[in-house]
């Protein structure tokens, strides 16, 4: 697992904050109370700094071939976090996850539940660099890159993670199932509830997936609102 110098800074920051505000501070944070804009801004800085600190990563072979490192986009305090498998061609060129046709469809679905990718939503991938010809992530690539994702989740602290597509879901959950068998239940990913739904690219290929996807997004909307 890569070593993060940032982890030590984070631990120091948390210890200092606890000393200053007392142990109740974190209980209040977890319940969403008393988190002032200054504290939120420090968390945002931590995420941006973390992204920058790994943006030249060469921990796996994908680092050599990328055009752009694709960290993630959205609200740094999002309750809802979408995770795909890896950047594709458009994402690699732009440095942003879920652009192109699939990304536009995801935006439309989000809009149907009155959400958007910049507000209370964060979008990223398991891998931060594009695999050649959009092949599936290799286990050794996941092994090197997943700790970054776990750290990202620790900083954002979403209420719900949504894995987009079978590859993202099986990679995160370490189970070998079809997408249908993983839908409709709450899984757990390092302590955060995780739901599985179709990848928007699959919806473009097969309109039959639209109805079950809509059911999934209704669940997602209700989960976040409650
Ligand atoms: S895919 Fe992840 S581990 Fe591999 S080079 Fe990119 S950032 Fe590093």
> What pLDDT, in 10s, does the model give residues 57-99?
999 999 999 999 999 999 999 999 999 999 999 999 999 999 9
The per-residue pLDDT for 30 is: 42
The per-residue pLDDT for 16 is: 52
Of the candidates 46, 59, 54, the one whose C-alpha atom is nearest the C-alpha of residue 70 is: 54
Predicted TM-score (pTM) of this structure: 0.82
Residue 177's CATH number: 3.40.470.10
> Does 129 contact ligand 1 (Cβ within 6 A)?
yes
> Does 141 contact ligand 1 (Cβ within 6 A)?
yes
- Give the range of the structural domain holding residue 193, as residue numbers without chain letter: 36-225
- Residue 26 inside a domain? The answer is no
Q: Which 3 state secondary structure label does DSSP give 63?
A: helix
Q: How far apart are CA 80 and CA 223, in angstroms?
A: 10
How many domains, the chain?
1
Mean pLDDT value of segment 36-51: 74
- Residue 85 inside a domain? The answer is yes
Residue of 129, 139, 151 to test ligand 1 pocket, by largest number of atoms within 8 Å of CB: 129
Q: How far apart are CA 212 and CA 183, in angstroms?
A: 9
Q: Which pairing describes strands 80-84 and 121-125: parallel, antiparallel, or unpaired?
A: parallel
CA distances from 65 to 34, 70, 85, 132, 141 (A): 45, 13, 17, 8, 13
- 148 CA to middle of ligand 1, Å? 9
């Amino acid at each position: 697992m890569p070593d993060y110098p940032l982890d030590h800074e984070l631990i120091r920051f948390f210890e200092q904050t606890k000393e200053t505000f007392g142990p109740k501070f974190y209980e209040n944070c977890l319940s969403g109370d008393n988190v002032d804009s200054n504290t939120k801004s420090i968390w945002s800085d931590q995420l941006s700094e973390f992204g920058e600190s790994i943006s030249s990563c060469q921990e796996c072979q994908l680092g050599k071939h990328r055009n752009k490192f694709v960290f993630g986009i959205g609200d740094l305090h999002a309750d809802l976090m979408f995770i795909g498998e890896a950047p594709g061609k458009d994402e690699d060129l732009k440095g942003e996850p879920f652009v192109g046709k699939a990304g536009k469809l995801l935006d439309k679905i989000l809009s149907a539940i009155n959400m958007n990718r910049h507000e209370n939503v964060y979008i990223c991938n398991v891998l931060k660099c594009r695999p050649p010809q959009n092949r599936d992530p290799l286990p050794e690539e996941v092994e090197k890159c997943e700790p970054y994702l776990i750290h990202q989740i620790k900083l954002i602290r979403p209420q719900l993670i949504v894995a987009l597509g079978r590859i993202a879901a099986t990679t995160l959950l370490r189970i070998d199932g079809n997408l249908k068998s993983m839908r409709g239940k709450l899984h757990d990913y390092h302590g955060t509830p995780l739901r599985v739904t179709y990848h928007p690219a699959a919806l473009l290929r097969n309109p039959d997936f639209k109805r079950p996807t809509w059911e999934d997004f209704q669940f997602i909307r209700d989960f976040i609102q409650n």
